[in-house]
Amino acid sequence: MRGGPVLRAEDLHKMAWHMHYDEGMSWEQIAAELEEPLAAVERMAAAYEHLTDTVAADAQHVLF
């Protein structure tokens, strides 16, 4: 088996989000680090943001 472990799309979304918001990396730096096109990384981040917003909204709805 060659290469590293295969990551699921959701894992990549979470990783990009963490690298940007927790580590302060630019989307350009993240694209280079993940060896992905910038547009793909931006889409990943937007998809993960949407997912977390939806989960948070659902959790808030349950609380109230």
pLDDT in tens, 31-51: 999 888 999 888 888 887 888
Q: Per residue in 9-31, pLDDT tens?
A: 778 878 888 898 899 999 999 99
Residue 22 tokens read as 């927790």
Q: What is the pTM of this model?
A: 0.61
Domain residue limits, the chain:
9-63
Give the torsion through C-alpha atoms of 35, 25, 14, 4, to 10 deg. Answer: 40
The one-letter amino acid code at 22 reads D
